[in-house]
Structure 1
Amino acid sequence: MLNTLQQFFNRALAMPEQAQDRRMTLELATAALLCEIVRADYHQDPRELEILRTMLQERFALGRGAVEELMQLADEEAEQAVDHFQFVRLINDHYGYDDKVALVELMWQLAYSDDELAAYEEHRIRKLADLLFVRHGDFIRTKLRVQQARDGSDGEGA
């Protein structure tokens, strides 16, 4: 499986004119990083998985079946990956700064979706944000935005 995905990544990178392959590769890379957040605390809460499905459907305008396939591939790829370099490189090469900040915000939303932030989750988000060259101030702002949105939706901080 890893070889198949690696070939897919290499083919898409070698032929950037094939926009569909490049888009699919970016979707997989993004989904793999988001799966890393779900897996960070060694517990996959059903709420996290449902939020991840919704994020992928909205971000990439995919149907439920395509999202399920993407989540499965991303989870397998994240499980077998030695490091995050291949995913991070793709995102750094093809996403603008604002898109990377938005991705970090999605990571925070996933981390908080089970109503608790595990130290492993925060550490993983911090590491990925650094690898994506997201400034520390934006890293903190995205976290605070997610916290404030959660407080407002819970009726506690509004």
Structure 2
Amino acid sequence: MLQRVLSFLRDLPNSAADTRFGADDPRVAAAALMYHVINADGIRHDVEWERLKELFSQAYDTTGEELKGLLDAGEQAHQEAIDLYAFTSVLNRHLDEAGRIEFIRLLWDLCYADGELHELEDNTLWRVAELIRVERRDRITARQQAAKRVPGATGGSSDSSDE
């Protein structure tokens, strides 16, 4: 009987697998923001999900169970969030200016994973960049570079109103 109870508790979504990473872990904050971006337009394409895993794995040099645990913790944090500040404040504490700009580059690459930039994704990136204190010119440059890396991308270098 005790084994069944313990097994049940281990299998709960919020079990120890998700609590390995603290609320102040910048990787969890980054993953939560990445989830926010791929969900911004209301449609999560498989290519966006695969690109999220790829970018996150490269950026944070993680694979396997650690990658899965971090992404699960990030998704859970994203689902429970009421605003972006909880995540951006963590990144502000842990990243220098170059790191914050690089994070915005990652988010733009994620936005263009499906070949187009939706206006809600663009708005989300603008808000995140403002909250982590990335200058407008750096945000625009990163967007333009991401659009150039995706053949046939739409909504990038000339479609946005903040250029």
TM-score range, shorter chain: 0.7 to 0.9
CA distance in 2, matches of 1:98, 1:111: 20
CA distance in 1, matches of 2:61, 2:117: 28
Instruction: Determine what percentage of the aligned residue pairs are the same residue.
Output: 21
Using the TM superposition, give the Cα deviation of residue 64 of structure 1 relative to its aligned residue in structure 2, in angstroms.
2.7
The residue aligned with 1:145 is 145
Deviations 1:100-149 (A, max 9, x none): 11111111111110111111100000010000110000010000111112
Using the TM superposition, give the Cα deviation of residue 65 of structure 1 relative to its aligned residue in structure 2, in angstroms.
2.4
Using the TM superposition, give the Cα deviation of residue 59 of structure 1 relative to its aligned residue in structure 2, in angstroms.
1.0
**Could you tell me which amino acid in structure 1 is paired with residue 109 of structure 2?**
Q
Q: Give 1 or 2: higher helix fraction.
A: 1
> 1:57, 1:64 within 8 Å by CA — same for their partners in 2?
no
Deviations 1:5-36 (A, max 9, x none): 6x932xx5xxxxxxxxxxxx111011111111
**2:8 is the alignment partner of 1:8:** no
The residue aligned with 2:115 is 115
The residue aligned with 2:35 is 35
The residue aligned with 1:95 is 95
**Could you tell me which amino acid in structure 2 is paired with residue 132 of structure 1?**
I
Normalised TM-score (structure 2) = 0.77
Using the TM superposition, give the Cα deviation of residue 86 of structure 1 relative to its aligned residue in structure 2, in angstroms.
1.6
1:56-67 equivalences under 5 Å are: 56-67=56-67
The residue aligned with 1:21 is none
**Could you tell me which amino acid in structure 2 is paired with residue 106 of structure 1?**
L
The residue aligned with 1:126 is 126
Using the TM superposition, give the Cα deviation of residue 69 of structure 1 relative to its aligned residue in structure 2, in angstroms.
2.0
> 2:115, 2:150 within 8 Å by CA — same for their partners in 1?
no
The secondary structure found in structure 2 opposite 1:42 is coil
Q: Which has the larger radius of gyration?
A: 2
Tell me, which stretches of 5 or more residues in structure 2 are unaligned?
1-13, 153-163
Q: Which runs of 4+ in 1 moved over 2 A?
A: none
CA RMSD of aligned residues (A): 2.0
Using the TM superposition, give the Cα deviation of residue 95 of structure 1 relative to its aligned residue in structure 2, in angstroms.
0.2
Tell me the matched-pair count. 136
Using the TM superposition, give the Cα deviation of residue 61 of structure 1 relative to its aligned residue in structure 2, in angstroms.
1.1
The residue aligned with 1:26 is 26
